[in-house]
Amino acid sequence: MPKIRDGLDAVTAFAGAAAAGMSLFLPFTFGAESVDSPYRVTSLINSVPRAAALGLIVAVVVAVLARPITRPGLVWLAATCGALALAINYFIGRTMTSTDVLTTQNYIDSLCGGVLFGALGICALRLRWPAVGYLLGVVTVFVYGEVVAVFSSNTSATASKSVHTPAWLVIAAVVLLTLNTLRHRHGMMPGIPRLAADLPITPIVAATVLALTLLVATDWLDREFDDLNGNTWQITLAVVVTLAAAFAAATLLPGRDGAGVLIAVSLGAAADSLADATSLGWHLLLVLLVATAAILAGLRWSSPWAVLLGAAVICLFATVAERFPWAFAWTAGLLALTAVAGFAAGSLRVGYLPSAVLGLGALYLPSILWSIPTRLRHWPTGTTSVDESIPGWVALTITIGAAAGLAVLYRIRPADNESAPRR
């Protein structure tokens, strides 16, 4: 059972991970008066996947730099500084009336969120209950961002209703992280064994390859559908590029740490194949309960193959979801995604902690399914809509490809590293 101090660390990790995740995954907050045209809103929409890619790279860089530090207070301080900068940028954004700096502030938001995400990951993932809180924050934001419509259109009339980080969460993260920094300021952790000289750079390279490749593939496919040229071969090429980038990033990481990247890419595609709603409402309580149970189950019984099987089930469900009543289909997809994502987070096993930060942060990267427009998924892409079953089949193809990549990774990497402790 967790002690009081473990509970405080867990709550702090949850609030910090949730605030950081929202800054990576969701558009920057703004006042209604700061958006005066669809062009401004479109600019913000386009900056969201780019900001997510930037934030992930920053998070991995911070994690690599923070990992050798043996004074936890310094790492908590780095996370607190990231949260404080996030809060300052947030409240400046709420008071700004100029639209010229809106996109820039979205990038700053993700950069600060990346600092918070990376430093907090190194703090939290070393201990059981803080790790549970951190993973719960990651999974909750991931599910929230996938099943709730971020934008319902690219018109200024609805822009102010877009999903963004709530003010109370940003404030809570700053306060809790400050308290934890003071609590841990005199602590010391055991020395960490040195790794190979070229190892620390590989997660940064892997994050850059994965983030930029997925971003380019998503942007390219988006333009194809905007120009009414999107069809089977363009989607196929984007799938191949996605899988190649995921496998390349996985092999760049030490041992079998890359399994988390392959799982994140498949799970992100599966989640994007589901329909979305205008809000989460009381379902948030279900998400928290199911995610917590699934994370604890994953910590006890790690199984990447079970995660991929669950992702495949979600994809198959997405292909037939339109045949069911919308309320049932959305709720069933929400619960299934929460359970699989929670189990995936708990099942993550790495020998090098920055690899875990990359695997978890990869959930927030853009997916090529963002660029495939359908009637029920509200991300504003092309002017045409494809059949509702297409995203499910595309996501299933990515999941099968990720499973093949995982089999190859396990074959070429020794099994000794699969259960290596987090360092």
SS3 of the chain: CCCHHHHHHHHHHHHHHHHHHHHHHCCCCCCHHHCCCHHHHHHHHHHHHHHHHHHHHHHHHHHHHHCCCCCHHHHHHHHHHHHHHHHHHHHHHHHCCCCCCHHHHHHHHHHHHHHHHHHHHHHHCCCHHHHHHHHHHHHHHHHHHHHECCCCCCCHHHHCCCCCCCHHHHHHHHHHHHHHHHHCCCCCCCCCCCCCCCCCHHHHHHHHHHHHHHHHHHHHHHHHHHCCCCCHHHHHHHHHHHHHHHHHHHHHCCCCCCHHHHHHHHHHHHHHCCCCECCCCCHHHHHHHHHHHHHHHHHHCCCHHHHHHHHHHHHHHHHHHHHCCHHHHHHHHHHHHHHHHHHHHHHCCCCCHHHHHHHHHHHHCCCHHHHCCCCCCCCCCCCCCCCCCHHHHHHHHHHHHHHHHHHHHHHHCCHHHCCCCCC
Tell me, what's the pLDDT at 152? 53
Are 37 and 156 contacting, i.e. CB atoms less than 8 angstroms apart?
Answer: yes
Nearest to 186 by CA among 77, 62, 64: 77
What Å distances lie between residue 27 and 48, 54, 223, 396, CA to CA?
6, 13, 20, 27
d(CA 173, CA 298): 26
Tell me, what's the pLDDT at 196? 47
d(CA 164, CA 47): 14
Strand partners, 277: 148
d(CA 159, CA 42): 10
End-to-end distance of the chain based on CA atoms, in angstroms? 23
Nearest to 322 by CA among 259, 385, 399: 385
d(CA 375, CA 411): 41
Tell me, what's the pLDDT at 223? 79
Give the torsion through C-alpha atoms of 49, 52, 57, 63, to 10 deg.
-160
d(CA 342, CA 350): 17
d(CA 321, CA 340): 18
Are 314 and 272 contacting, i.e. CB atoms less than 8 angstroms apart?
Answer: no
Q: Can you give the pLDDT of all 423 residues of the chain as single tens digits? A: 557 777 888 999 999 999 999 888 776 555 444 445 555 556 666 677 888 899 999 999 999 998 888 788 889 999 999 999 988 888 877 676 555 566 677 788 889 999 999 999 998 998 888 999 999 999 999 998 888 866 554 444 444 444 567 788 889 999 999 998 998 877 655 555 555 444 578 899 999 999 999 999 988 888 777 666 667 888 899 999 999 999 999 999 988 999 999 999 999 999 988 877 777 788 889 999 999 999 999 999 989 999 999 999 999 999 988 888 888 888 999 999 999 999 999 999 998 899 999 999 999 998 888 888 777 655 555 556 777 788 899 999 999 999 999 999 999 988 764 444 455
Nearest to 93 by CA among 82, 104, 84, 83: 104
Tell me, what's the pLDDT at 415? 74
Tell me, what's the pLDDT at 108? 84
pTM greater than the 0.75 cutoff: yes
